[in-house]
Structure 1
Amino acid sequence: RLMLNIRAPLADDQRGRNAQRQLARWYQETEFEPRDAVLFQCYRGEFSTDSQRAIHEELFRRGSPLQLLWAVSSYSVPLPEGALPLLIGSRAWYEAVGSARYLCQNIDYDRFFRKRSHQKYLQTFHGYPWKSMGVSLWRVQGKSESLITAECERRNSAWDSILVPAEFCEELYRREYRYPHEVLVTGYPRDDALVNSDLDAARAQVLARLGIGADKTVVLYAPTWRDTVATGAWTAKLFDELDLNYVTRQLGDDFALLLRGHNYNLREGSAGSSASVLDVSSYPEINDLILAADAAILDYSSLRFDWMLTGKPVLFFVPDLANYLSARTVLFEYGPTAPGPMLTTTEQVVEALGDLSSVTTEYATARETFNLEFQTLHDGHATERVVDSFFGVDAWPHRTPMLDPAMTPKAG
C-alpha cells in the first residue's frame, strides 16, 4: 500500500528541527504585546472539535470581541464560523501562543511553552477521566519521584483552570497532578450538542453527508488505542481483533458499519474503507457520528460516557480486558462504566447486533444508573457555565455605559 506523508505548508525558514528550535527560542525570549484573542487547539491540530469548538461557538454566538484563533496542522482542517487559522509551527502561531490573552487546549503544549503574566490557560482535557493519568500513570511507567514532581510543576505553572465532568472528578485531578488552582465543575461543553440536538434531523443530515440510506441500522465501532501496540508518542496501530468483514456479511445490507479509529491510529495510517465498512476516522466531528449511529460497539474509550447521553444501545467488545487492565491501570472499576453486554468474540457481537431491541431493554436500568452516577452535569448548559466562569466580561460585547444627562459636564 502506497502512503504519502504531506507536510504542513510552512515557510522555508520554519521547516525542520533546527528552524523550530530557533522559533521556540525566539518565542521564549520575546515579550509579546497582549492580544485580545483566544487561541484554541485540539490534539495536534488535526481537528476543530471537542470542548474547544463548543466554547468557540458560544463566544461567537454572544458576539465576544475576542479574536477566535485556531491552531491547525494544515489549512484543510474544517473550522467553525468566525475562526482564524494559524499553522502550528509557523511564526504567527508562536506569536499567538505568547500574545493571546486566553489559551484553550485539550492536551498540553510542548516543553517550549512559557505562560506570560497576561495569559489565562483553560485545560479542558479530552475525555472522561477513567484511565490512569498523572502521578499514578507516571509511577507505573517507572518515572522517578523528582521527574514526577517536575511534570506536575510544569503543568501547574501553565493551567489556570481545568474542567471536570462531575464533582467526584475534582479530587482525582487534584491528586493525580497535585493541582492547586481553579477547578470548573461544570460538565463538558463537548456534550451539550448530544443533549440539545434534534436527534432525527441530525441523523438524517449526517447520513446524507456519508452517503448512507436513512433506512439502514447504523453501527459505530470505535475502539480505543492500546499501549501494547503504540508505535510512537502520538501513534498506535489499530486494534483489529473484531472481524468487521464477517460482521457485515452476517448482518447483510440492512446494516451500515462505521469504523472510527483513535486519532493515534489515524496518525499511524488510516485503516481504509472497504465495500462493507466505512472508515470515518478522519471525519471532523465525533458528535455527528454519535448522533447518526443507532448502536455502538465500544471498549475502554471515554467515548462511552458521551454515548450514554443518547440512550441508545451499546455493546462492549473487550476480548483483551484482563490484558488491557494489566497494561494500563485505571482510576475506578470498569464494570459500572460499561452498561451493556461485554463480549469477547466476533460471533457474539453479530448475535447481539441481530437483537438490539433486547439489548436496549435488558440494560435500560444499567444505563439509567450510569447516567445518574456520572452525567448529572451534562444538562445541555455546560458551555454557558464554562464561558461565564472563565471569560467573564470578555464573553460579551464591550459596551460603553450610557451617562446620565444630569451628570454630563456642561461646556464652558
Structure 2
Amino acid sequence: MKAVSIVIPVYNTELFLEECLDSVLEQETKLDIEVICINDESPDNSLKILHRYQRTFPNVLKVIDQPNTGGATAINRGILAARGDFILILDSDDYLLPDSLDSLYDRAIVTDAKIVVGKMLKLTNNVFSSVEETDWISGSAVLSTPKQRCQIFISKMYHGKLMRRDFLVSENIFMKDGQIYADGPFVAKAYTSTSSIATLNKDVVVWRKRESSNNLSITDRKKEARTLLDHMESLSMSWQNTASANESLYLEKLLEFDSRRPVWHLFPFWLERDFSFKQLSRFYEATADYYSMVRHTQVKNLPRAEGFIVRSLFRRNRYEFYLFCYLYYCRIRYRQFRARTRAGLRKYSPKKLLGKLAPIGLKRAYRKIKPNYAGHDIFRSYLSSTERDDNLVVFESFFGKSYSGNPKYIHQELARHYPEFRSVWVYNKQPLDILNCEKQVRRGSDEYFQALAKSKYWVNNIQFPVHEKADDTVYIQTWHGTPLKKLGWDIEVSGPEAGAREKAYRESRNWDYLLSQNSYSTEIFRRCFKFGGKILEQGYPINDIWSSPELDRIKQRVKDSLGIPASKRVVLYAPTWRDNNPLGNWIYKADDVFDYEAWSRNAPSDVVLLLKFHHLVLPPRLNGYEQRIMSVSDYDDTQELLAIADCLITDYSSIFFDYLNSDRPIIYYAYDLAEYQDSTRDMYVSMDQLPGPVVTSFSELLDRVDQLEEVATGFQDLRDEFAAKFCPNDDGSAANRILGEIFKASNAIEHAH
C-alpha cells in the first residue's frame, strides 16, 4: 500500500509538465508514493514526456491514456486507480514546493484528519503572490467547530489539499464528468461530508495563472459562452452540496465569493471596451436560476461596487442590474483614462524632458553629485565616518554568487605571498566556502557598504552597486574573459547589454586598474568601455591553474568530488546566456535545444557530460539522465571544470579563450547563429574563423563528439594560432605580476618577489 497517490490530469501543458513532475519526483520524502498521470488526449508532446519519465521511474509513475473527455473524468480515473492512503491532485502546469508531501502527510497522521488544507502561492507572469482563498490560514489547526470550518468554504479549489482515498470513495465524492469547473462541487461535498479537517500553515503548491492569449488556463476563458454556463452549473452544485449540511455559516461564507464569481465573466469584455445591453441580457438569463435559488440568503462582506450588481441579481431586477453594470463599466473606463493620462504626464514631466534633452555630460555630472543607486545614503554615511584600512581587501565575484573567477585566484595569491592583507568576501544568498578569509558580508547589507567604505582595495569581475568611492580606494576590475561577443559601446542592437552601457560607463569611472588577457582585449576595452585608465595586460589569474604544479591533484580532487571515474572522458557544455527568455530581473531561462535523451542514447559510452550554464541562466532539470549527464551549474569554479574536460562545447561564450591553454578540442554549438547576430549581439571574431567546428544542429553535435580525435587533429594549427594570439601571458604568473604592480604603484608594501 502506498502512502500518497499524486493524481495529475494532463492536457496541452508540455511547457510546464517537466517542472510539475520534477517537483513531485524530487521531493526529499520518506514516503512511499505513486504518481498517476492521466493524459486527456493532449495534442502536444505531453504524452511523449510522460512516457520518457515512466521509463526513468517505472516503479513510481503510471501513465493512463484516455480519449479527450476533460480534466474531471481524468481525475476520477486517477482516484479510482490510486493505491495510496491519501490522494493529492496536482494540475500539470502547477508544481509542489519542497517538503510539501511530508508536511501534509505528517499533519494528516498527527491529527487523524480526512482532509488537510495547505496554503498556495500564485504565479502570474513570473511574479509570485499569495492566494486570497488560503490567506485566512494563519496557523496549523484542527477545525473542530462549524464556526472554524466555515472558513474553508472560501476555497473550493483542490490545490494543496491532501484527502484520504477511502473517505472519497466511500462517500462517493467524485467530479462530474465533462464539467470544466468541477472542483467546486467536488471540494464542497468533501467539506460537508466530514468534520475531520485540519489546516497546515505552509505554502505547499504553486498555482500557475497562464495569461498568454495562446495558452490561457481553462478557467480564465471567461469570455466563452460555454464557460459561463458550465460555471453556473458548478456554482449551483456547490450550493446544493453545501446546503445539504444544514449549516447557515457554511452558506454565508460560500456566497462571499460564489455570489460574485459570475460577474467576473463580464469584466474581460468591459476591460476591452466591449459593453452592450444585449450581452447583459444574455448574462442575466444565464444566471437567473442560480440567483433565484440562493437569493433568500443574506450575503455579507461584498465589495461595494460589485455588491450593487450582485444584489440587483438577487432581487431579479433587470433594469437595476443594467444600470449598475453601466456605472461599473464607466468606472473601469475612467480608471483606464486616468492611468493613461498619468503615464503621459510622467512621460513629458520636466524631469523626463530634462533627462532626454540634457547633454550626456551634464547628466553624468548630476549623477556624480546626486547618485540614485540603492543604498547610496548608507554608503555615503560610511564613507564620511569610516577610516580606511590599508590592509583590507574586498572581493566580489559574479555579484557574490560564487568563489570563482579572477578574484578567487588573486585572493589565493594574496594569501600565499602577502599575509599581512586581510580579505572580506561578498556573498549573495549563502556564505561561500572560502579559506583565508577574515569575514563574509551579504551583498546589499549595511555590513557590505561598511566594508566597501573601510577597505583600501576593491576586487571585482563585474561591478559593485555603488557609483563612487573614496579617492584613496584602489579598484581592480579583473573582468571575466577575452571578448568574443561585442561589448558596451560596440553593441549595435538593442537589448539588456546595450541598455546597461551608461551604467557600465559610470562604473568604469571608478576603476583604477582593468585586467586584460592580451593586446586584442586591451584595444577593445579602451573603446567599448571608453576607459582611459591603467590596463594591466598581464594575462588572467584564472589561467595560472594550467601551469600549476598542483594541477593533477586539483583534477583528481574535482573528479572525486563529482564522482567521475578515471576511465571516463569528460565533455563540458558551457553556453552563454540569451536575453530572449527572461524569467525576471537579469535571470533567464535556458534554451530547450539540448536533447538529453538523444545524448544519453547516442553519445560514446565512456563520455560523461557536464552542464555548466551561465550565472544569469536558471539551469534546466535533467529529468532522470543523471547516469550520463551531470548538472554542475552550482559548482563555483568553472576553471576547475575546464581543467578536467577532455572537450569543451560552447557557443558564443568567451570561455573557449581560457580553454585554449589546455590544447584540447572545442566544438561550437551555434544553433541560433543568424538570429543571435541579428537581434542579440554580433561578434568581434567571425564564427567561421574559430579553432573548432561550428555546428547548428544536435545531430551534427553528436557526430562531432563521436569524432573528438579528428576534431583535435583537424583544428590543431588554428588552436595553436589562437593560443599564441590570445594567451601569450597565461604562463602561470599572472596573479603574481598583477599584485606586484598594483602594490608597488600604491606603495602598500615593498614588493619582494
* Residue 174 (structure 1) aligned with residue 526 (structure 2): yes
Instruction: Tell me the CA shift for residue 331 of structure 1.
Output: 5.2
Which of 121, 125, 128 is the aligned partner of 2:482?
Answer: 128
- Specify the SS of the correspondent of 1:40: strand
Which of 306, 315, 323 is the aligned partner of 2:667?
Answer: 315
Query: Is the contact between residue 691 and residue 715 of structure 2 (CA under 8 Å) also seen in structure 1?
Result: yes
- The one-letter code sitting in structure 2 at the alignment partner of 1:127 is G
Provide the residue aligned with 1:104 in structure 2. 459
| Cα 1:3/1:128, change in 2 over 3 Å | farther
* Residue 119 (structure 1) aligned with residue 473 (structure 2): yes
The separation in 2 between residues aligned to 1:319 and 1:142, in whole angstroms, is 20
Query: Is the contact between residue 248 and residue 255 of structure 1 (CA under 8 Å) also seen in structure 2?
Result: no
| Cα 1:298/1:152, change in 2 over 3 Å | closer
Between 194-203 and 87-96, the greater mean CA deviation after superposition? 194-203
Instruction: Tell me the CA shift for residue 48 of structure 1.
Output: 1.1
* Residue 327 (structure 1) aligned with residue 682 (structure 2): no
Provide the residue aligned with 1:391 in structure 2. 743
- The one-letter code sitting in structure 1 at the alignment partner of 2:621 is A
The separation in 2 between residues aligned to 1:222 and 1:362, in whole angstroms, is 22
- Bigger Cα Rg: 2
* Residue 69 (structure 1) aligned with residue 421 (structure 2): no
Query: Is the contact between residue 596 and residue 622 of structure 2 (CA under 8 Å) also seen in structure 1?
Result: no
Alignment of 1:351-370 (within 5 A): 351-370=703-722
The separation in 1 between residues aligned to 2:621 and 2:435, in whole angstroms, is 27
Query: Is the contact between residue 520 and residue 726 of structure 2 (CA under 8 Å) also seen in structure 1?
Result: no
Instruction: Tell me the CA shift for residue 75 of structure 1.
Output: 4.0
| Cα 1:314/1:43, change in 2 over 3 Å | same
- Specify the SS of the correspondent of 1:394: coil
Instruction: Tell me the CA shift for residue 96 of structure 1.
Output: 0.7
The separation in 1 between residues aligned to 2:528 and 2:450, in whole angstroms, is 31
Instruction: Tell me the CA shift for residue 231 of structure 1.
Output: 3.3
Alignment of 1:11-410 (within 5 A): 23-30=375-382, 31=384, 32-35=386-389, 36-110=391-465, 112-137=466-491, 140-141=493-494, 151=503, 154-196=506-548, 199-251=551-603, 253-265=605-617, 268=618, 270-272=620-622, 274-275=625-626, 276-330=628-682, 332-335=684-687, 338-392=690-744, 393-394=747-748
| Cα 1:3/1:203, change in 2 over 3 Å | farther
Query: Is the contact between residue 425 and residue 437 of structure 2 (CA under 8 Å) also seen in structure 1?
Result: no
- Specify the SS of the correspondent of 1:89: coil
| Cα 1:22/1:140, change in 2 over 3 Å | closer
Instruction: Tell me the CA shift for residue 97 of structure 1.
Output: 1.1
- The one-letter code sitting in structure 1 at the alignment partner of 2:486 is S
The separation in 2 between residues aligned to 1:269 and 1:234, in whole angstroms, is 14
- The one-letter code sitting in structure 2 at the alignment partner of 1:104 is V
Provide the residue aligned with 2:337 in structure 1. none
Query: Is the contact between residue 399 and residue 463 of structure 2 (CA under 8 Å) also seen in structure 1?
Result: no
| Cα 1:364/1:205, change in 2 over 3 Å | same
The aligned length equals 377
- The one-letter code sitting in structure 2 at the alignment partner of 1:322 is A
Instruction: Tell me the CA shift for residue 68 of structure 1.
Output: 0.8
Query: Is the contact between residue 48 and residue 80 of structure 1 (CA under 8 Å) also seen in structure 2?
Result: no
The separation in 1 between residues aligned to 2:687 and 2:97, in whole angstroms, is 40
Instruction: Tell me the CA shift for residue 238 of structure 1.
Output: 0.9
Instruction: Tell me the CA shift for residue 353 of structure 1.
Output: 1.5
CA deviations over 1:96-118 (Å, ceiling 9, x no partner): 111110011111122x4321122
Query: Is the contact between residue 53 and residue 80 of structure 1 (CA under 8 Å) also seen in structure 2?
Result: no
- The one-letter code sitting in structure 2 at the alignment partner of 1:203 is K
| Cα 1:395/1:383, change in 2 over 3 Å | farther
The separation in 1 between residues aligned to 2:632 and 2:458, in whole angstroms, is 29
- The one-letter code sitting in structure 2 at the alignment partner of 1:360 is A
The separation in 2 between residues aligned to 1:177 and 1:207, in whole angstroms, is 39
TM-score by length of 1: 0.84
Instruction: Tell me the CA shift for residue 157 of structure 1.
Output: 2.7
Between 173-182 and 297-306, the greater mean CA deviation after superposition? 173-182
Query: Is the contact between residue 316 and residue 341 of structure 1 (CA under 8 Å) also seen in structure 2?
Result: yes
The separation in 2 between residues aligned to 1:313 and 1:83, in whole angstroms, is 40
Instruction: Tell me the CA shift for residue 21 of structure 1.
Output: 8.4
- Specify the SS of the correspondent of 2:616: helix
The separation in 1 between residues aligned to 2:689 and 2:448, in whole angstroms, is 39
Instruction: Tell me the CA shift for residue 203 of structure 1.
Output: 2.8
The separation in 1 between residues aligned to 2:400 and 2:689, in whole angstroms, is 30
- Specify the SS of the correspondent of 1:352: helix
- Specify the SS of the correspondent of 1:127: coil
- Specify the SS of the correspondent of 1:71: strand
Query: Is the contact between residue 218 and residue 292 of structure 1 (CA under 8 Å) also seen in structure 2?
Result: yes
- The one-letter code sitting in structure 2 at the alignment partner of 1:365 is D
| Cα 1:288/1:65, change in 2 over 3 Å | same
The separation in 1 between residues aligned to 2:417 and 2:720, in whole angstroms, is 34
The separation in 2 between residues aligned to 1:152 and 1:239, in whole angstroms, is 27
The separation in 2 between residues aligned to 1:255 and 1:156, in whole angstroms, is 43
Provide the residue aligned with 2:176 in structure 1. none
CA deviations over 1:247-298 (Å, ceiling 9, x no partner): 1211254221111111111xx3553573331100000111111111211211
Between 71-80 and 187-196, the greater mean CA deviation after superposition? 71-80
- Specify the SS of the correspondent of 2:514: strand
The separation in 2 between residues aligned to 1:311 and 1:3, in whole angstroms, is 44
Instruction: Tell me the CA shift for residue 396 of structure 1.
Output: 6.6
CA deviations over 1:289-329 (Å, ceiling 9, x no partner): 11112112111111111111101112111121111111233
Instruction: Tell me the CA shift for residue 202 of structure 1.
Output: 3.1
The separation in 2 between residues aligned to 1:300 and 1:155, in whole angstroms, is 25
Query: Is the contact between residue 604 and residue 706 of structure 2 (CA under 8 Å) also seen in structure 1?
Result: no
CA deviations over 1:40-81 (Å, ceiling 9, x no partner): 000121101111011111111013322111011134422233
The separation in 2 between residues aligned to 1:225 and 1:239, in whole angstroms, is 9
CA deviations over 1:376-400 (Å, ceiling 9, x no partner): 11111111111111123536799xx
Between 175-184 and 250-259, the greater mean CA deviation after superposition? 250-259
- The one-letter code sitting in structure 2 at the alignment partner of 1:34 is R
- Specify the SS of the correspondent of 2:748: helix
CA deviations over 1:324-343 (Å, ceiling 9, x no partner): 11123345223366211111
| Cα 1:357/1:157, change in 2 over 3 Å | closer
Provide the residue aligned with 1:10 in structure 2. none
- The one-letter code sitting in structure 1 at the alignment partner of 2:639 is N
TM-score by length of 2: 0.47
Identity rate of aligned residues, in percent? 27
Query: Is the contact between residue 248 and residue 257 of structure 1 (CA under 8 Å) also seen in structure 2?
Result: no
Structure 2: where are the runs of 5+ without partners?
Answer: 1-22, 24-95, 99-371
The separation in 1 between residues aligned to 2:734 and 2:471, in whole angstroms, is 28
Query: Is the contact between residue 486 and residue 684 of structure 2 (CA under 8 Å) also seen in structure 1?
Result: no
| Cα 1:83/1:261, change in 2 over 3 Å | farther
- Specify the SS of the correspondent of 1:218: strand
